[in-house]
Chains A and B, each alone.
Chain A
Amino acid sequence: MKKVLILLSIIIVSCNSPKKEEKKTIKEWTLKEVIKIDGINPIGIALKGEELWLSDSDHNRLVQIDTTGNIIKTVNDFDRPMHIDANTTSIYVPQYGIDTVTVLTNNTRKVVPLQIELDAPAGVSTYKDELAIVDFYNNQIHYNNGNQWSSFGSEGNANGQFYYPTDVQITSNEIWVADAYNHRVQVFDKKGVFVRAIAWDQGINAATGIFVSKDEVFVTDFENDRVLIFDHKGVLKQELKDKVNKPTDMIIKENILYTLNYRQSTINAYVLESVLKK
């Protein structure tokens, strides 16, 4: 009987003792460096081959920098260049102030011929022979599949509608749009059909920039000084806040994530590290 009582009390004590918190190893972006880019107020970032290019809209120019922030080259005389994009040979520059998209190849500039009348192009994306343009005041996306243009979107907050969109990215199967003042990201198929919205429940105040990598989606929360990281389905994975100040855009180069701080003229550099999480 005594033995039974002892056994029972051991069981009870073990049941009431606090459970060991399970920890698992996950990978998170960790801030490694804040790079100063004095005199540049960056809005967009793009990789032309291995070259890092910034749009410095306040000074109407594009700037090529190295990974320590040194200016390598400056190209002037743009009119408010915003979210740029690039491939290995050319930089695509939406000129917000004069309603054109210009392609800069070496020192040659060509305007993308369009039938549509843009009203403040805020961003472009190029993917293979495809091109997409964000039309800020018309609340539309114009998409060229390599052969022809199509447009989608209108002003509003329903699915498929926009309220001042500012950035776009084409991926293999989808078109991602930073629907800035609906404070969300919308995803479309390449026919312009709405697929899903993400980030709408994260209290974002102006989702002005977007970058989609193979596994993740990076979204700038401009007013709240955050960069939010989601998986492609929209599940929040991480929030970057430390040293983030009026973020505008992001890119990954050689496994380093670069995020732009518009106001502070700095770029944050992050690396993926394994961390123990509850």
Chain B
Amino acid sequence: MKTKIIIMLILGLVSVSTIQAQKQRDDFKIQVDGLGCPFCAYGLEKKFKEFKGIKNVAIDIETGDFTFTFPSDKKLTLLQVKTQVEEAGYTPVTIKITRANGEIEVSEKEKE
């Protein structure tokens, strides 16, 4: 009986932590150069929709600020973000990722 309860507890803890991990999201903040018009902004949005799980997409045409969140367990990298912005036809000036666990990653230009 004791063993069963312990196993149940462990399973419960594992599943709770798995669900939490799935809910955890990384924050992405990118400064994009060349976003002139709504066609550019929505083009960028469209290209990033290819990353399944992307949410909270916000693009400010005036400032070039592009933000979104992404499931942390998928570990989207700086390089993947840079490549996708370029694929959309624009230039990423700076990229900053705030991981769900608090770690911060920045592109080279951001470091400067």
Contacts and interface: CB of A to CB of B under 8 A. Distances in A.
Interface of A: 41, 43, 57-58, 80, 82, 96-97, 120, 122, 136-137, 164, 166, 180, 205-206, 208, 222-223, 246, 248, 262
A222 B36 contact: yes
A206 B43 contact: no
A206 B45 contact: no
A96 B42 contact: yes
A57 to B, nearest CB: 6
Interface residues of B, number: 10
A80 B42 contact: yes
Contacts of B42: 57, 80, 82, 96-97, 120
A122 B45 contact: no
A42 to B, nearest CB: 10
B109 to A, nearest CB: 24
B89 A57 contact: no
B46 A164 contact: no
B37 interface: yes
B39 A82 contact: yes
A43 B36 contact: no
Instruction: Classify the interface of chain A: helix, strand, loop or mixed.
Output: loop
B38 interface: yes
B46 A206 contact: no
Given A97-B42, A120-B43, A136-B43, A208 B49 contact: no
Main secondary structure of the interface of B (DSSP, over half): helix
Contacts of A205: 36
A136 B39 contact: yes
Contact of A96 (B36, B37, B46, B89): B46
Contacts of A262: 38
A206 B43 CA distance: 15
Given A97-B49, A164-B89, A208 B37 contact: yes
A58 B37 CA distance: 12
A96 B42 CA distance: 8
5 tightest CB-CB pairs across the interface, nearest first? A80-B42, A222-B37, A166-B39, A206-B36, A96-B42
7 contacts: A80-B45, A80-B46, A97-B45, A136-B39, A136-B43, A206-B37, A223-B37
Nearest to A222: B37
Contacts of A80: 42, 45-46
A205 B37 CA distance: 10
Contacts of A137: 43, 89
Contacts of B38: 41, 43, 57-58, 82, 248, 262
A10 B98 CA distance: 86
Contacts of B36: 205-206, 222-223
Nearest to B42: A80
Among B38, B39, B45, residue most surrounded by chain A Cβ atoms (within 10 Å): B39
Contacts of B43: 96, 120, 136-137
A57 B38 CA distance: 8
Contacts of A58: 38
Contacts of A57: 38, 42
A223 B39 CA distance: 13
A97 B54 CA distance: 14
A122 B46 contact: no
B89 A120 contact: no
Interface string B38-73: 110011011001000000000000000000000000
A130 B87 CA distance: 32
A247 B45 CA distance: 21
Contacts of B49: 97
Interface in B9-49: 36-39, 42-43, 45-46, 49
